[in-house]
Amino acid sequence: MFSNQLNGQNLNLKVVGDNNNETSIIDSIGYLKYFDNYKTLEAELYNFKDKLTRQGYIDATIKNITKQNDTLFNAQLILGKKINSIRVYYDSNFNEDLLDFINHYNNDSYFELDISQLESSLNTLNSKIAEQGDPFSTLQLVNISKVNSNLITADLNVKNNQKRRIDKIIVKGYEKFPKSYVKRFLKLKTGKSFNLNAIKEKVELLDDIRFASKIKDPEVLFTQDSTTLYLYVEKTKTNNFDGFLGFGTNENTNKIEFDGYLDLRLINNLNFGESLNLFYKSDEIDQQTFKVDADLPYLFGSPVGLQVGLKIFRKDSTFLNANQNARINYQINAQHKVGIGITSTKSTNLLENDTDILNDYTTNYYTLNYNYSKSQFYDPLFPINFWFNLYSGLGDRENNLGDQSQSIFNLDTYKIFNLNNKNSIYTRFNGAILTSDNYLDNELFRFGGINSIRGFEENSLVANLYGVINTEYRYRLSNSIYVHSVIDGAYFENQITDTKEKLFGFGFGLGLLTNSGLFRLNYSSGKTENRQFKLSDSKVHVSLTATF
């Protein structure tokens, strides 16, 4: 009846000790003081007593609870002397290596620690035992006794159950999810010790896969003699298409010529995690580029993958380069990948006569590649946060002028610095160097354009060494619209023409995520070090990347 009468009132609680010193200790530890009813007030008082026990006041008792007025209750506690340490004895079957995860003093048959750390230490030990494949293990302290006013002892009782291993892995939602990605990318294998925390961490790696995403946390079915792990995954749309294409008849040759731009990326259509890229471009300075490559990861369930590609580049009626490459990749983990391969290029001079700077040649390179990527696929506007790709090759060039040893290095990296939800800074560096005693014009790098230094025509710049820095300040107007600045800089050298020059590009852009895909518009103008800006030289690039 007394408790019911107090329901609905605002009650206050004041806890005091047996003396002023104990009251100060009580206030320093802290407790709730305001309640809606007497039941919650009483529960808080007993919870506070348990908190005192965990702090070492194992003799703490509630002396009395008195009602001062309609809203105020006084509670008097007797703390007793604080116990600072506890000594826990264990038997010979206990794994002493587990003690490395707690802060303690160790002896041959016991460990000693601050009593305030007892609960967290026992939780840590129990968690580590569970990680070894025994999720149903329990720890208990028995035979608790007080040695002196500063120390108590107890025996550690570890109750072990049957150790669990993953017997079966079932993927729900996307039943054709590549098994090789479960085994090699997520590193989840049957026969391994069951560790739920480690499993959750590995499943988070699904965020680094473009073609799949996690629906919810994994679940486990325990039976008497088996453990089944359920992963909940859904397939996402990852195929991309961007470009425009036209064709007509050349008045001089009466042959059909294609003009325009095509960038097609097909990812995981066969449910093996494979990707196929097809690229074609015919630009305004009579250059044609055709490129196709395929990436086949985790061949036969191994961590080894195969990447092959073909690239054909034609410069008007001057020369034609055909490049073939093959590379074996090893996926170290979700973010790191290394590869070795071979690249072969055959160049044909389309002019009537060979010269010292334009000549047929064949090159063969042995290559080494390292790639690091960090994704943020939760952001459809900017799915990759950090990209680093280092490529090097050693080989030789053969032509009628003789053999020439050469080496090539290329670095492409970019990073998005997210300042907050609306503001970010994008920086990219792309550079390459070809080392040789002499050079041919048809083997040099060609750069410039929307994917290089903006404000210049596509592949209009020729160099044996170059470096390009792209920067953008990006501001999100909403989750689907952003605007950005364009500030680019570049340096290149061409030893054939004895040219060393600095370039600059400035402009602005817009990105809009629509139901059809990502629409982008860029306006930029370029200048050389000794030339002023001309609006007539400005470039406008419009694209719509459709995802299907």
pLDDT at 2: 46
> Side-chain half-sphere of 270: how many Cα atoms within 13 Å?
9
Q: Identify the three-state secondary structure at position 477.
A: coil
Q: Are 77 and 26 in contact (CB under 8 A)?
A: yes
Say which amino acid occupies 219.
E
Say which amino acid occupies 80.
G
3-state percent breakdown (helix, strand, coil) of the chain, nearest 5: 15, 55, 30
Asked if the domains at 85-159 and 244-547 fall in one CATH topology, the answer is no
pLDDT at 285: 65
Q: Are 492 and 504 in contact (CB under 8 A)?
A: no
d(CA 102, CA 128): 11
d(CA 341, CA 236): 31
222, 342, 343, 369, 463 from 393: Cα distances, Å: 52, 8, 8, 9, 18
Residue 8, both tokens: 């609905």
pLDDT at 144: 85
pLDDT at 488: 96
Q: What is the DSSP string of 218-270?
A: EEEEE-SS-EEEEEEEEE----EEEEEEEEEE-TTT--EEEEEEEEEEEESTT
pLDDT at 130: 80
Q: Which CATH architecture best describes the domain 244-547?
A: Beta Barrel (2.40)
Residue 220, both tokens: 């486990």
Q: Identify the three-state secondary structure at position 69.
A: coil
The H or E element containing residue 153 is: strand 151-159
302, 319, 392 from 330: Cα distances, Å: 9, 36, 16
Tens-of-pLDDT digits for all 548 residues of the chain? 344 444 446 899 999 998 989 899 999 988 999 998 989 999 999 999 988 888 888 888 998 889 888 889 999 999 888 888 899 998 878 888 888 888 877 777 888 888 888 888 888 888 888 877 777 788 888 888 888 878 889 898 888 777 888 999 999 999 999 999 999 999 999 988 888 888 888 888 888 888 999 999 999 998 888 899 999 999 998 899 987 655 555 556 666 655 678 899 999 999 999 999 999 888 766 788 999 999 999 998 899 999 999 999 999 889 999 999 999 999 998 899 999 999 999 999 998 787 888 999 999 999 999 999 998 888 888 989 999 999 999 999 999 888 999 999 999 999 999 999 999 999 999 999 999 999 999 999 999 988 899 988 888 899 999 999 999 999 999 989 999 999 999 999 999 999 999 999 999 999 999 888 888 888 898 888 877 776 666 888 778 888 88
Burial class (CB in 10 A: 0-12, 13-18, 19+), 245: exposed
Q: What is the DSSP string of 478-510?
A: SSSEEEEEEEEEEEEEETTTTEEEEEEEEEEEE
Burial 25-45 (b: 16+ CB within 10 A, else e): bbeeeebeeebeebeebbebb
Q: Looking at 400-514, which runs of residues are DSSP E strands?
A: 402-418, 423-435, 445-447, 461-463, 465-476, 481-494, 499-513
**What are the domain boundaries of the chain?**
2-78, 85-159, 168-235, 244-547
CATH number of this structure's domain 2-78, picked from the four choices 3.10.20, 1.10.3470, 3.40.720, 2.40.30: 3.10.20
pLDDT at 286: 79
The candidate with the shortest Cα–Cα distance to 64, out of 23, 17, 98, is 17
Q: Are 322 and 346 in contact (CB under 8 A)?
A: yes
Phi, psi of 468 (to 5 degrees): -130, 130
Centroid of chain to Cα 519: 25
Centroid of chain to Cα 2: 59
Cα torsion 240, 243, 246, 247: sign? negative
d(CA 541, CA 436): 35
Q: In this structure, which topology does domain 85-159 adopt according to CATH?
A: Ubiquitin-like (UB roll) (3.10.20)
Cα torsion 139, 142, 147, 150: sign? positive
pLDDT at 150: 85
Residue 38, both tokens: 């007497």
Q: Are 329 and 340 in contact (CB under 8 A)?
A: no
pLDDT at 461: 93
